[in-house]
A = this chain, B = another copy of it.
Amino acid sequence: MAFEVTKEFLEQIRQAVEEGNSSFIESAIIDLHPADIAEIIDELDAQEAKYVFSLLDDEQGADVLMELEDDVRERFLKILSSKEIAEQLEQLDSDDAADILGELSEDIQEEVISQIEDDEVASEIVDLLNYDEDSAGGLMQKEFIRAQMNWSVMRCIAELRRQAEEVEKVYTIYVVDEKNELIGLLSLKRLLFASPKSLIEDLYSNKKIISVKAHDTKEFVAQQMSKYNLESIPVVDRQNKLIGRITIDDIIDVIQEEAEKDYQMASGISGNVEARSSVFRLTRARLPWLVIALFGGLLGAQVIKTFEPQIALHAMLAIYITLIPAMAGNVGVQSSALIVQGLANNTLRTTDLKTRLTKEVSVALLNGAICAALIFTFNYIFYQDIRLGVTVSVALMTVILFASFFGTVIPLILDHYNIDPALATGPFITTLNDVVGLFVYFAVSLLLY
């Protein structure tokens, strides 16, 4: 059964904290997964959280710390001493420890590092801090299982037993040569069923070794792992020397963030915020796009102002001033969303520009024709004004074609120049299409009136 934090359960925990009833809390959470305990602590205030945290054993505590929401952990780390933080970090995988350390200010980072007792652990963590957090190096961990080609299975198992102590999850054993260059892979399953005397070099596979370089982007790592269905991937440096591995749980977060980021951009939200972020951060993430849209709106106002004499002559023209740009905006968002997603999940190649445009134009012609026919009919039913009907349907057809064109081409161009194509979505493309839509509408009306 799935665990869920209920209001009642939280109330019981809070009361137990107040009464100092540690045995109740311990028995309530002892069998829970660290991710569940973190969910409880996410809901408590700092002092309550500290009390519950103090009841966890070292390893559990570190895992819970890792699972907390970013902002909760930030607050929580502030009430721990450098020594306490160092003790937690020593329990964690190097990548998680480096992530947490990276969240602290530089002064505190140094203090915490100096408090880590095991020098090797400290230097591994410090080493990881050097990598860009958006690169493979920033995601990798130093814990992995390594075997030499000339080992026997027996020796290998003995060595692995030693190495495996610090490696929480073993997926694949990386086979290296004497220069620590990655030359092959060996599954634990293969090793388990091999005769003790056989040699690693007769067991391992050196075909199709998928690895990434430390400076590859995390998006590239995600693509590779998802394409080749890997649960872990070795990371090598520029000389093909094995320096770490990335596990699938870290990549799932990347995939999710990536997809969410594109959606946020399309919705006019910049920066990595979520509903629970602070009012200030939310405002800062949303305001820039609103200001862009506002300027777009002012541009639109100028277009309307320019055609004011036309409106003054034919007041009925005013009634479709919002419909046309709104439809243009909608079509543009549709087109760009498909392109941005196709680029993000790699199902689209930039070279297909011609094919893409032909297809987009066909879809636009179909949708445009249907919508134009609908609006002509409705306009006739409501207002019996054929000239207005022709104006609005011709304008609608035209802006749908324009909007499809912009929505397709702009993200592809941005991508070509290595600018995030998601920038082209949302308020930006809506606003562009608003202005173009207004212009087309009045231009058509000038021809027909």
Contact = CB atoms under 8 A, between A and B. Distances in A.
A419 interface: no
Contacts of A274: 338, 341-342, 347
Interface string A312-351: 1001101111111111011101101111011001011001
Contact of A327 (B207, B297, B339, B366): B297
Interface in A272-298: 273-276, 279, 282-283, 286-287, 289-291, 293-294, 296-298
A267 interface: yes
A108 interface: no
Contact of A226 (B171, B252, B318, B323): B252
Nearest to A407: B267
A104 interface: no
B259 A363 contact: no
A191 B164 CA distance: 12
A345 B266 contact: no
A269 B342 CA distance: 14
Interface stretch (A17-25, A119-127, A176-184, A303-311): A303-311
A375 interface: yes
Nearest to A250: B229
Contacts of A220: 2
A174 B210 CA distance: 29
A321 to B, nearest CB: 5
Given A255-B252, A318-B318, A269 B334 contact: yes
A64 to B, nearest CB: 13
A326 B208 contact: no
B325 A276 contact: no
A249 interface: yes
Contacts of A338: 267, 269, 273-275, 282
Contacts of A324: 297
Given A282-B363, A337-B269, A371-B290, A2 B224 contact: yes
A360 to B, nearest CB: 9
Contacts of A287: 366-367, 370
Contacts of A33: 208, 210, 228
A262 interface: yes
Contacts of A374: 291, 294
Given A283-B366, A290-B331, A342-B275, A321 B318 contact: yes
A203 to B, nearest CB: 14
Given A231-B231, A330-B427, A342-B276, A337 B264 contact: yes
A410 B228 CA distance: 40
A108 B171 CA distance: 39
Query: By CB atoms of chain B within 10 A, which of A169, A170, A264, A267 has the most?
Result: A267
Nearest to A332: B267
A314 to B, nearest CB: 11
A42 B363 CA distance: 23
A160 interface: yes
A270 B158 CA distance: 56
Nearest to A301: B319
A260 interface: yes
Contacts of A32: 208
Contacts of A197: none
Nearest to A207: B31
A188 interface: yes
A445 interface: no
A79 to B, nearest CB: 23
7 contacts: A31-B208, A160-B193, A269-B338, A289-B334, A291-B374, A301-B323, A318-B318
Given A160-B193, A170-B189, A259-B263, 7 more contacts: A256-B345, A276-B347, A282-B338, A283-B367, A290-B331, A305-B319, A322-B434
